[in-house]
A and B are shown apart, each in its own frame.
Chain A
Amino acid sequence: MSTVHTKAQEALRARYPQHFQAVYRGRIPAFLLALLAVVIFAFGVHSLDMSYGRIVGGLGELGSMVLRMFPPDPGSWHRTGIYTYAMLETLAIALLGTLMAAIAAFPLGFLAARNTTISRVVQFFARRSFDTLRGVDILIWALIWINVVGLGPFAGVLALFMSDLGSFGKLFSEAIEAADDKPVEGVLSTGGSSVAAVRFGILPQMLPVLLSQVLYAFESNTRSASIIGIVGAGGIGLILSEQIRTLELQEMSFVILLILGTVSLIDWGCARLRFSIIGARAL
């Protein structure tokens, strides 16, 4: 088919020779970049000891572990009770951590917003502190708080509090900055104080945004709270890591299913609440 050259094709070829040539020249930088990526990858595979034998042996072991996970089985009713209580503790950690962070971040958010801060220096330092808080992973916060307050759910609550304070501070201050100025001017023009301007000018605009962010954070904190137990900061993660280490695989798969089920239940509930809050704003 392509070997038949009609006159029209010849004419096109004569008129646009560049479109009938291979396009190698423009691709040299992209090619070098791809080569570099492959070289780094190969170096990584080599230096991180990802040998073929280890992978194949591990996959075999993994396969037999997965087979031993089925069917998921809590063992006994007594244990089911323990797991359920641990899951409740996880939810309690998530709720308290999120709520405390939201309450603390609320005034700090105003300090970190360009239009409501008391000085540029304060705003700058507030923003950088939030960045630092967020930059430390939640498991690291959990370890640090375990050193300070000891093992248990309290350390987990404080770990969630720290990393959420960072993200809420940033999100709240952005919501405040995005607020429309006109209601503020309106309140000020009636002789309202600056506190009144924030209360009646800014707050009604940002509250729905703020609440939906808090709900969203609660969802993701339910996930985080179920893993911080791995380092000893309360919740169901402790049970999970013990079961993996002692190879109680059927119980482990039950606990994983319990976590996944609870998380999707919370997701569903929060999505409904969020929808009703944002819907209320549209009315």
Chain B
Amino acid sequence: MNSPSTRSHAYAQAVAAKRRQIWLGLLVLGVSVLFAGHIAEISPAKFFDNIGSFSSYFHRISHLENGQWVISDPLEWFWGWKKWLALMGETLLMAYVGTVLGAFAALVLCFLASKNMTHNTWLVFATRRLLEFSRTVPEIVFALIFVVAFSLGPLPGILALAIHTTGALGKLFAEVVENVDMKPVDGVLATGANWLHKVRFAVLPQVASNFASYALLRFEINVRGAAVLGFVGAGGIGQTLLEVIRKFYYADVSALLVLIIATVMLIDAVTERIRHRLLGQERAG
């Protein structure tokens, strides 16, 4: 039997072991931080020196050329609003077209990537690796490559968004398809249906609202993505943003940032409402 003293001894030992583990972890972390700081050429002093320059940068982007606070003269602040809104519209359209293309490709590929729909193990494996590759390579890298192949403009940006969307949605769609109730599938197959009938009448009704919800979520993400694709010349508002930041047009920087943030928040709010309705329908139905 354990006497109270040996038990408390065991407890003290367990605590000490845990403490040793934590200290060891902290030591490893500390060494790697020092090493990282050395490689990235950062010292704490450098960090504190630059806090002041950031606040002065913030001061400059929040004031107009004449030294007035930007909000005092919105028309002067958003002087280029016609051009900027058109660019923002182009950005949204790029995100939309990219999402639709990607969602369509994902819709086709997800059935090939789910074990309960495709019985050829190799095909499932190959499709999954393809999807994984498309979502692991960042879309801006695809955009860089496509800009060389397709030349500058929105087209390479859209294709980059579409490929990344295919990878991300294909995985999510396949997971939904693998979780469907197989009874309707058996029922439809029992009537002599072919593969297409099976998908259309047994699977799609079960997964459609989830698919739409995921696609909308991806659209939100793609709006953010499309806003920066212009940095590498792949269309949208990013190109203009890059210029005004690089050329130190301070008030324009804040105007464009406000425009982008407001648009992203608006899109988020709208798609969130639609998604809630979609999922609500599913629960009711």
Spell out A's residues near B (CB within 8 Å): 37, 40-41, 43-45, 47-50, 54-55, 57-59, 61-62, 65, 85, 88-89, 91-93, 95-96, 99, 131-132, 135-137, 139-140, 143-145, 147-149, 152-154, 156-158, 223, 226-227, 230-231, 234, 240-241, 244-245, 247, 256, 260, 263-264
Contacts and interface: CB of A to CB of B under 8 A. Distances in A.
A49 B154 CA distance: 8
B33 interface: yes
Contacts of A99: 29, 33
Interface in B61-87: none
Contacts of B150: 54-55, 57-58, 61-62
Contact of A153 (B40, B224, B264): B40
B154 A96 contact: no
B141 A37 contact: no
B245 A154 contact: no
Contacts of A62: 145-146, 149-150
Contact of A227 (B37, B138, B227, B242): B138
Given A54-B150, A62-B149, 11 more contacts: A55-B155, A61-B150, A91-B36, A139-B140, A154-B40, A223-B138, A227-B140, A230-B140, A230-B144, A231-B231, A240-B141
12 contacts: A44-B96, A48-B158, A49-B155, A54-B155, A58-B151, A92-B37, A96-B33, A132-B261, A135-B261, A137-B225, A156-B40, A234-B40
A49 B36 contact: no
Given A137-B228, A152-B41, A41 B154 contact: no
Given A95-B32, A149-B53, A48 B41 contact: no
A43 B93 CA distance: 9
A148 B32 CA distance: 27
Contacts of B41: 152-154
Contacts, number: 156
A259 B275 CA distance: 35
Contacts of B29: 99
Contacts of A157: 40, 42
Nearest to B98: A44
Interface in B190-215: none
Contact of B148 (A41, A92, A244): A244
B50 A147 contact: no
Contacts of B136: 260, 263-264
Contacts of A43: 93
Interface residues of B, number: 56
A135 B232 contact: no
A59 B265 CA distance: 35
B1 interface: no
Interface string B218-232: 000000110110011
A152 B46 CA distance: 13
B245 to A, nearest CB: 5
Question: When A and B form their complex, which 10 residue pairs have the shortest distance between CB atoms, in order from nearest?
Answer: A92-B36, A58-B150, A62-B149, A153-B40, A44-B97, A92-B39, A48-B154, A61-B149, A92-B40, A44-B93
Contact of B100 (A41, A59, A154, A241): A41
B44 to A, nearest CB: 10
Given A65-B149, A140-B228, A144-B245, A41 B97 contact: yes
B17 interface: no
Contact of B248 (A88, A147, A149, A152): A147
Contacts of B227: 137, 140
A48 B137 contact: no
